[in-house]
Structure 1
């Protein structure tokens, strides 16, 4: 089983970017990341976030398969295979987004309940606490309604 090679992928990103006479900052601006992130990828210190894989490949004019492999492919990847890779990246991005959303709602709900308990126990209703509680429950309620329909 082959694993992704950060060095090879980073080298390909740097090579293609330089062939296009673009700076790290140019690429960073297009993708909405910092030039430091581009530098890390190019040095093989890390990979781009899964949500950036397809936009990065499009920006560089290479396929997702080439980006994952870390080298240009002489035999172009067929459209069906590239489409499959694109779908996998999108599904991964959606799953990560869902997990972040769930985590945020768990935190917001926990904080709202804690504020509510503190207010009940101390019998002090700070206006900021009340606003926070109402906001959290409003967001939870609207999120539930949106998911339902």
Structure 2
């Protein structure tokens, strides 16, 4: 994948469609600065935006990754494989973010609990935070179960 070629392709198709960077950004739920970075080859869209982006531009994932339009149609099996890879990657990123958020929340709750026990002071905000963390853990567990 070449970010420069991909960015040029995104810009060319967007301009062919007579759309502004802001139009594309609004459709994808990102900032126009993000679209500008993609088009200049400074960055690449987040994996969770790949499918909405190709749908918006009317190209295939393979074309986006290559950075050029292909005259022969891409094999449906190949495109399906790329789509599955993108979905798995996006799900994995989401899962890792969730785990990180939970680790932070539990660490803060344990620290608050330790401070409360050591200082013999039970601030209401600390108690609310601890209860909230355990509530989230419990509801997550129930949602996973069903």
Report the TM-score, using the length of structure 1 for normalisation. 0.96
Alignment correspondent of 2:143: 146
Alignment correspondent of 2:32: 35
2-structure distance, mates of 1:127, 1:43: 50
Alignment correspondent of 2:132: 135
**Number of aligned positions between the proteins:** 146
Alignment correspondent of 2:65: 68
Residues 76-112 of structure 1: CA distance to partner in whole angstroms, max 9, x if unpaired?
1021211111111000000000000000000000000
Over the aligned positions, Cα root-mean-square deviation in angstroms equals: 0.7
The Cα shift of 1:28 comes to 0.1
Unaligned segments of structure 1, at least 5 residues: none
Report the TM-score, using the length of structure 2 for normalisation. 0.98
The Cα shift of 1:130 comes to 0.6
2-structure distance, mates of 1:97, 1:132: 24
Alignment correspondent of 2:79: 82
Residues 33-80 of structure 1: CA distance to partner in whole angstroms, max 9, x if unpaired?
000000000000010000000100000000000000000001110212
Alignment correspondent of 2:44: 47
